[in-house]
Structure 1
Amino acid sequence: MASLATATFTGQSGQAYEFLAYDRDTEFKSAGAVYVVAIRYPVSDGFTYRNVYVGETRDLSDSPLTHCRTACFERIGANSIFVRLEGNPARRQEIAQDLLGRYDPPCNSDRAGLCEYPTTECPLVWPLGL
């Protein structure tokens, strides 16, 4: 399982976190992690990403693939996932909240249940519009 890229995301606190990017359909081993679901798209000098969801899980082999927000991910065109392994549950939650405070991704926006896309809770984002 080779990663597509590396990225540093900076939280609202100013703390920087290193992540590895993978195709969204990558199968992972069981591990605790913080993850960012994203749209990967080409630009003139390679690829760039648009973050659409930040989450954390105790079991990376299951949660991002059977997620309650999968409909939002599918409709928005998310095709990548950034992963940062973290075994400590409290630390995972802390990192995810720090990133949410900075990025406010659209599939996190209602923070309760499944987005019916597009709505004000799960707004249109690139490449489908802003």
Structure 2
Amino acid sequence: MASLAAATFTGQSGEAYEFLAYDRDTEFKSAGAVYVVAIRYPVQDGYTYRNVYVGETRDLADSPLTHCRTACFERIGANSLFVRLEGNPARRQAIAQDLLGRYDPPCNSDQDGICEYPSTDCPLVWPLGL
């Protein structure tokens, strides 16, 4: 499984985290990870990404591909997944919270369940609008 790109995301704390991007339909082996679901789209010099969700999982083989936010991901055209392997559960949670403190991904905005999309809890984002 070849990655599409590498990226560095900086958390609210100022700490930088390295991630690798994959197609969202990539099948992964079982491993703990922090992940960012994104929309990958072409620009003049190649591709860029719009992050739509930050999460963490103890089993990348199962989640986020069967995620409770899949409806939000599908409706906004999320097609990529940034992955940072991390086996320590406390560290995964800390990284995800640090990233959430800096970014405001639209599919994270409703912490109680699946986004009813579009709504004020899960706002419309590119490519359907800003």
For this structure pair, what is the TM-score category when the shorter chain's length is used for normalisation? over 0.9
Instruction: Give the equivalent residue in structure 1 for 2:112.
Output: 112
1:19-98 to 2 correspondences below 5 Å: 19-98=19-98
Output the CA distance in 2 between the equivalents of 1:35 and 1:5. Answer: 14
Give the secondary-structure state (helix, strand or coil) at the position aligned to 1:66. coil
After superposition, the C-alpha distances for 1:68-108 in whole angstroms (9 at most, x for unaligned) are 00000000100000000000000000000000000010000
TM-score, normalised relative to structure 2: 0.99
Which ranges of structure 2 fall in alignment gaps of 5 or more residues? none
Cα separation, 2, equivalents of 1:104 and 1:123: 11
Counterpart-to-counterpart distance in 2, 1:64 and 1:113? 14
Percentage identity across paired residues of the two chains: 91
Report deviation, 1:48. 0.1
Distance in 1 of aligned mates of 2:51 and 2:72: 13
TM-score by length of 1: 0.99
1:113 and 1:52 mapped to 2: Cα distance? Answer: 15
State the superposition RMSD in angstroms. Answer: 0.4
Alpha-carbon distance in 2 for matches of 1:112, 1:12: 23
C-alpha distance in 1 between matches for 2:87 and 2:64: 16
- Counterparts of 1:51 and 1:12 in 2: how far apart (Å)? 16
Deviation at 1:112, TM superposition (A): 1.2
